[in-house]
């Protein structure tokens, strides 16, 4: 498993994101994954970002057995979703065309 650093960032003017972490070395090559928060009914995105971070931190503090149980339940939910929705299978059925 790759070492992981979880950071949150605010999108700056010009749609730029700046990351800073003492765990990163200057010149080091890193992979960056951006996870967009789900749309919320309230307009308080700053507060919801904080709650998402707190939920992630709380999840990481759980015992590994509890994290596995939660992820297994999420995987089962996604399995039923993909079994019910066949639209994605139609997308994967065609030939790959190299332009």
Q: What is the pTM of this model?
A: 0.38
Is 92 contained in some domain? Answer: no
Is 1 contained in some domain? Answer: yes
Number of domains in the chain: 1
Is 29 contained in some domain? Answer: yes
Is 23 contained in some domain? Answer: yes
- Own/partner contacts of 60-68, CB < 8 Å, gap of 24 or more, are 60/6
Is 34 contained in some domain? Answer: yes
Taking only the tens place, the pLDDT of each residue in 36-71 is 877 655 555 555 566 678 888 888 888 888 889 888
Predicted local distance difference test score (pLDDT) of residue 52? 79
Contacts of 21 (CB under 8 A, 6+ apart): 5, 7
Is 69 contained in some domain? Answer: no
- Identify the domain containing residue 24 by its residue range: 1-63
Is 70 contained in some domain? Answer: no
């Amino acid at each position: 498993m790759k070492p992981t650093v979880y950071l949150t960032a605010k999108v700056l003017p010009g749609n730029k994101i700046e990351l800073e972490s003492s765990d990163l070395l200057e010149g080091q090559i890193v992979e960056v994954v951006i996870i967009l928060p789900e749309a919320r009914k309230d307009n308080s995105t700053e507060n919801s970002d904080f709650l998402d971070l707190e939920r992630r931190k709380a999840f990481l503090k759980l015992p590994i057995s509890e994290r596995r149980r939660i992820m297994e339940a999420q995987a089962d939910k996604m399995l039923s979703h993909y079994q019910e929705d066949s639209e994605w299978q139609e997308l994967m059925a065609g030939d790959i065309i190299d332009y």
